[in-house]
Amino acid sequence: MKAECVVDIRSEVGETPIWDEVAGVLYWIDCLAPAVHRFRPRDDTDELVPLLVDSGHIGAIALVEGGGFLVLAGSGLWLYPADGERRLLAKPDEDRPQNVVNDGKCDPQGRFWFGTMHNQSKEESGRLFRYDSKRGLVPMDEGFSCSNGMGWSPDGKTMYFVDMMPGRILAYDFDGKTGSISKRRVFAQVSNDEGIPDGLAVDNDGGVWVAHWNGWCLSHYGPDGKRIAKIDLPVQRPTCPAFGGTDTRDLYVTSAAMDLSSDQLAKGPLAGSLFRLRADVAGPKAVRFKP
């Protein structure tokens, strides 16, 4: 698999790519700009989506049934409907002012899961949350200095979640009916010399694809947690993979240029760009939040 640069840009922290199969476009964000991008592969154009964001930080976005976005921004979760005013849905960790929101994704049932993190990633004050319109905000787990990528197995029985700083990809038993998790365990451990795990995507065969921040690569793990392949990338800080394209075999990968020195940028001048690889397995369609 060879990475093709499809958007040559120096985003600070590119993140959360999401394929919109209806429009045939890929949405992705620059966390620190903050900005939401829309990439159109049919003509290779990338444009900004105008969203009013009060804070200088976006943690993640999700598509919404009926149109619009969910946006994690600053210390809150916001609904941006296709028509109408934005609305604050929840403010997690109000008792932990040192925390900010980070990565998030919808589960197969359309509930939104996301994590919080210590603003310097120095204390294990972060939590994992679930949000839906009926039950509101529910804390599900805690003890993370930097909560990160997540995904679900094709049978919906396992949830994966990245505990970034210890380099661990965790797995939980997942009950789709109740939205509960149990039996937390380590699915895979990333060695220190290969960076630290960031965002992830799960394919239709149950393989788990993980970006290595500071590792110049993606890892492809089997459902048993054993690494199947290492895919080299031309950037030091890949951040998150996501499946897309008409057959969902295009693997898009965001990256970051944040805090890289001139020497590091000379070695990886495409830092912050958006990449596409052609996978030999398809991935699931993005699930939309059910408001």
Cα separation, 70 vs 288, in Å, equals 9
Cα separation, 78 vs 69, in Å, equals 8
3-state secondary structure of 194: helix
**Catalytic annotation, residues:** 198
How many angstroms from the chain centroid is the CA of residue 202?
12
Cα separation, 204 vs 189, in Å, equals 22
Backbone angles phi, psi at 136, to 5 degrees: 75, -145
Q: Is the dihedral of CA 241, 274, 239, 130 positive or negative?
A: negative
Question: Beta-carbon neighbour count of residue 27 at 10 Å?
Answer: 22
Cα separation, 290 vs 134, in Å, equals 10
Task: Give the C-alpha distances (Å, rounded to integers) separating 233 from 51, 84, 208, 211.
Answer: 31, 41, 17, 10
Backbone angles phi, psi at 274, to 5 degrees: -105, 135
In whole angstroms, how large is the CA radius of gyration of the chain? 17
Q: Is the dihedral of CA 30, 267, 120, 16 positive or negative?
A: positive
CB 145 within 8 A of CB 126: yes
